[in-house]
Chain A
């Protein structure tokens, strides 16, 4: 395990914004290794820069310093090696569900017959094959995010990056999606970096939870979670789960003072 190249390796990553004449440090210096096949969540007080961090790993926002490596290869632009799922639906409203999932494959020049096969496979995986001819605007928020997941999985990235993908969903849909995601993730065997502000969600889904401090962000603690998989929602009721959750809660709330000043 130790000798293997990590799926994602972040080395001394820093981010400084210039706001007017002022320089604001969003991310101090973060180093992190995400082993192949693991589900890793990042939690932190709101406004701590965890979402910025993920966007930098995705290559969407430029970093100020440090390095990002995917399976040992340094990256600084977006690419299909990292599949990003956004909080807001990024499905194209002018394409139906099927064509949305096929879009990336077409761009990458996959031939039609192969493409159709892949799209069918992933739409069935997320249980939305019956909705292939619908427009995204005809689907619920939860369905849209499942389609987004299928679209990202379809182009077969090395790692998945997820930025609060269930943030806009109601509590019940959210829990269902977490169980769904666990199932799909176990089938796909991808390494995942998942950003959330929901401690329960992080603990339920993850092998590893990384706790960020408030601005400027540094890694405060890394917590391994080893409940058996597949986990059911009942795991929430165990003492172990609650202990971990309370511990993370305490870590985040030591930060409250600084994060409140920063606002969102």
Chain B
């Protein structure tokens, strides 16, 4: 990003925090809206005690396992569905029916099946984040220029070589668009999936639930802030990987 824009963004955040702090100090806003100072010191305490990290680790584990599943299954099945017509036809009705369903609505069923467990949570996150990746990958495959495949066939490439060395790289820009949406959803659903309660008593979403029950909005803000931070961090990691893999592409940015 542009250095100047980075500066502006930093200033913006500082100003907003300052306004929040000023409003809180002057008691113009109710106490349950807390203040940056209170939230900051609470966060520091949770960092020092290590509590924040154990909670974050628990949440991250659920998110990243889900995202890994999304990545592998979304890309593999998306490519298969885009390249092999029968596979595409097979998945079409399933995707059409399931994609618009809010996956959280499936929670009761998942809970009957797997209880309040990480399996339930990971499945819920996976079901939500899978579709953007799958659909983008399939679209990406459909968008690959016919002459690329013809040229590869012309040079004697096998079906597998065409998939691996032509279809995959050619649809990679689209795949990354899908992955980015999926990653965002992963973090959104990480929070939702922990609202059902936590089996091990850990998780950033679960922290919010506990803070709510205790009337501790400052703790809630700590957790929200940390989820935002993690979401931002992983989005940046994804963008860095994309820039590396798509160095040849015009829209690597």
Contacts and interface: CB of A to CB of B under 8 A. Distances in A.
A78 B248 contact: no
Contact of A103 (B155, B170, B248): B155
Contacts of A88: 145, 147
Interface string B149-172: 011111111000100011001101
A59 B153 CA distance: 9
B155 A94 contact: no
B34 to A, nearest CB: 50
Contacts of B152: 107
Interface of A: 58-60, 77-80, 82-84, 86, 88-90, 92-95, 103-104, 107-108, 135, 137, 151-152, 155
Given A86-B150, A86-B151, A88-B145, A93 B248 contact: yes
A60 B151 CA distance: 10
A93 B252 CA distance: 13
Interface string B134-154: 000000000001011011111
Interface of A, helix, strand, loop or mixed by DSSP: loop
Interface residues of B, number: 20
A78 B154 contact: yes
Contacts of A83: 154
Given A92-B148, A94-B170, A135 B155 contact: no
Given A92-B148, A92-B169, A94-B249, A107 B156 contact: yes
B250 interface: yes
Contact of B166 (A86, A92, A135, A137): A92
Interface of B: 145, 147-148, 150-157, 161, 165-166, 169-170, 172, 248-250
7 contacts: A60-B150, A82-B154, A86-B151, A92-B148, A104-B154, A137-B250, A152-B154
B249 A84 contact: no
Contacts of A107: 152, 155-157, 161, 165
B150 A94 contact: no
Most chain A beta-carbon contacts within 10 A, residue among B147, B172, B249 = B147
Contacts of A152: 154
Interface centre among A78, A80, A155 (most CB of B within 10 A): A78
Contacts of B172: 94
Contacts of B154: 58, 60, 78-80, 82-84, 104, 152
Given A88-B145, A93-B170, 18 more contacts: A60-B150, A60-B153, A78-B150, A78-B153, A80-B156, A84-B154, A90-B150, A92-B148, A92-B166, A95-B248, A103-B155, A104-B154, A104-B155, A104-B156, A107-B152, A107-B156, A137-B248, A137-B250
